[in-house]
Structure 1
């Protein structure tokens, strides 16, 4: 996932046109994919363009087909290809206990269980096998990519502004060998 637009949460992304009457494929990131149609105030990343979904229906396992208000032909649908849909963060319900929005992770401090700072979360990526935290190191160097699993990231403290990262024993052993 890309860095979120300030004050907005990414809910979906338009894909290729579907047919010639303006329908378009839509990838939804909401827990119930069809729920994306119920959100008012969908915008592009800049907040300048507003979208209203007239209807959505499932197509296959991971995709929807949407009818967008004001889009009535293939050319209009093609113009929306790859446009991301955002909603203002304050329009979303508060997360349940032990839940959070992915967008809330951006900017959190990543540290070890001992409180040693690793860096700052700059993105949450997903290449198909699960979410990965991209952490810009506290010092210089390349970003670290950490699988976002309970075993690797046992603590997420959004209010405290931090996550705890516990690398597997193999990585710790490699670090100790290099430090010796």
Structure 2
């Protein structure tokens, strides 16, 4: 294992949240490319689980746990330091690593806030109880987020896109795994 990495098991609730892009400075800091515009999970978790990149040269194998000293926003990225990663060479060895965090260590969302990962797979139903499909992914278009919904119609997959805004979203029920929308099948 590399300096700072401890052999570990990937938690059952692990979510991939970013990857390490490069060393940053000479004191062991490294630059992280988060997968979210709001990388709060990276800031709140003190244990990151790393897997080697699936491409190119890797400097470690298996799952490693990295104990984070500090993580902070820097431009459109995150920079972090970890215990045992004390110089540029050690930080450089982490380049390309995929970062996973246990979902149980994510900050609790506020009322009417949801983690995208919790919305994937939810059924989407309109006010007339017509099933419009299942959330496949979410897209950030800048001013708003859009639900990308797959619906199987006559053996063909039909894709719908519904803005994830209060004008169209009536209710999100994570317990019943359903989103109620003001949307018609022919929109």
Q: TM-score, normalised by structure 2?
A: 0.65
Greater per-residue strand proportion: 2
C-alpha separation in 1, matches of 2:110 and 2:45: 19
* Farther off after superposition, 109-118 or 8-17: 8-17
In the alignment, which of 9, 29, 51 is matched to residue 66 of structure 2? 51
C-alpha separation in 2, matches of 1:14 and 1:162: 35
Aligned residues: 165
- 1:26 equivalent in structure 2: 32
Q: 1:79 to 1:109 in 2, by over 3 A?
A: farther
Q: Where does the alignment leave 5 or more consecutive residues of structure 2 unmatched?
A: 1-10, 53-61
Q: 1:75 to 1:9 in 2, by over 3 A?
A: same
The answer to whether the 8 A contact 1:37-1:54 is kept is no
Q: Where does the alignment leave 5 or more consecutive residues of structure 1 unmatched?
A: none
The two structures, once aligned, show a CA RMSD in angstroms of 3.5
Please state how far the C-alpha of 1:162 moved relative to its aligned partner. 0.6
Q: TM-score, normalised by structure 1?
A: 0.67
C-alpha separation in 2, matches of 1:83 and 1:128: 27
Greater per-residue helix proportion: 1
Please state how far the C-alpha of 1:97 moved relative to its aligned partner. 4.0
